[in-house]
Structure 1
C-alpha cells in the first residue's frame, strides 16, 4: 500500500501549498471517507478543465495544477492523488479508452482515480469536472464516473496504478496549449493494454486483499 502513498516528481504532495490545502480540506471532517469526498469535490469543482474553459498552460505536476487552477483530466487526477496522499489516504490512477467524438475512431485515454476507503476497499472517482451530460459523484459503494463505455473499442481498464502512465505524462509535458493538446491525446489500443499493465485485476471490494 505504501506505493499508493509515495511522493514523486509528478505527484509532489510534499509541496507546501498542497499540504496546506490538504489540511484545510480535511479540517472538520470526521472520517477518512469524508476527507476523501471533500478532496474529490474540491478538485472536481475548483480546478477548471482545460478544454471546457479553453485555458492554458497545460499542467502535469500536481503543484502546477494547483498553481494555475486548470488541467486536463489526467492533470486533475494528479492533484487529487496528491491531496489524498497528503492526508495519508492511498490513491491510484485509472484509465478508460474512449471515442473522442462518441462515434468510433479516433480514440484517446481518459484519466481518473481510485481511492482506498477503509470500509470498502478501492473506490473509483472521476474529478474531471461536471457539465451538461457529465455528473460524476462520490457515492460509495456506487461508482458514478464521468463517462460510460459504449463502443466495442472502448474500455474501462481494471488496473489501479501507483504512478501515472508515462505516455500520459509525456503528452502533457510536450504541449503548451489546450488546443494543441487536442491533437496529441494519448491512446492505447486494447490489444496493447497488457503491455502497460492496464489489464491487471485490482479487485474493488472490501473483501479483497490489500495490495
Structure 2
C-alpha cells in the first residue's frame, strides 16, 4: 500500500497548498468515509473541468490543479489522489477507455481514482465533475461513476496505478490550451 500513500511529481501533496487543503477538508470528519467524501466532493464540485468551462491553463500536477482551479479528468484525479494520500488514505489512478463521440472510434482515456476503504476494499470514484447526463457520486459500496462503458472497445482498465500513465502526462504537458488537448486526447491499444 505504501506506493498509494507517497507524494510524487504529479501527486505532490507535499506542497504547502495541497497539504493545507487536505487538512481543511478533513476537519470535523468523524470517519474515513467522511474524509473521502469531503475530498471527492471538493475536487468534483470546486475544480472546473477544462472542457466544460473552456478553461486554461492545462494542468497536470495536483498543486497546479489546485492553484488554477481547473483540470482535465486526469489532472483532477491527480489532485484527488494527493488530497487523499495527504490524509493517510491509500489512493490510486484508474482509467476507462471510452468513445470520444457517441459510439465507435476514435477512443480516448478517461481518468478517475480508486481509494482503499477499510470496510470495502478498492472502490472507484470519479471526480470529473457533474453536468447534465453525468452524475458521479460517493456511495460505497456502489460505484457511481461518470460514464458507463457501452461497447466492446470501451472498458474499465482493471489496473490501479500509483502514478499517472506516461501517455496522459505527455498529453497534458505537450499542449498549452484546453482545446489542443481535446483534439489530441490520450488513448491506449487494448490487447
**What TM-score, normalized to structure 1?**
0.90
* Number of corresponding residues: 191
In structure 1, the partner of 2:81 is: 81
User: Does residue 184 in structure 1 map to residue 154 in structure 2?
Assistant: no
Alpha-carbon shift at residue 13 of structure 1 (Å):
0.4
In structure 2, runs of 5+ residues without a counterpart are none
Q: Report the Cα distance in structure 2 between the residues aligned to 1:148 and 1:189, rounded to whole angstroms.
A: 19
In structure 2, the partner of 1:157 is: 157
Alpha-carbon shift at residue 190 of structure 1 (Å):
1.2
In structure 2, the partner of 1:71 is: 71
Alpha-carbon shift at residue 93 of structure 1 (Å):
0.5
Alpha-carbon shift at residue 182 of structure 1 (Å):
1.1
Q: Secondary structure at the match of 2:112?
A: strand
Q: Residues 2-51 of structure 1: CA distance to partner in whole angstroms, max 9, x if unpaired?
A: 00001111110010011101010000000111101110000000000000
In structure 2, the partner of 1:91 is: 91
Where in structure 2 are the equivalents of 1:44-193 lying within 5 Å?
44-191=44-191
Alpha-carbon shift at residue 152 of structure 1 (Å):
1.4
Q: Report the Cα distance in structure 2 between the residues aligned to 1:63 and 1:20, rounded to whole angstroms.
A: 11
Alpha-carbon shift at residue 149 of structure 1 (Å):
0.2
Q: Residues 132-175 of structure 1: CA distance to partner in whole angstroms, max 9, x if unpaired?
A: 00000000000000000001110111111111111101110001
**What TM-score, normalized to structure 2?**
0.99
In structure 2, the partner of 1:36 is: 36
Greater shift, 161-170 or 70-79, is seen at 161-170
Across the aligned residues of Structure 1 and Structure 2, the Cα RMSD in angstroms comes to 0.6
Q: Secondary structure at the match of 1:45?
A: helix
Q: Report the Cα distance in structure 1 between the residues aligned to 2:182 and 2:164, rounded to whole angstroms.
A: 19
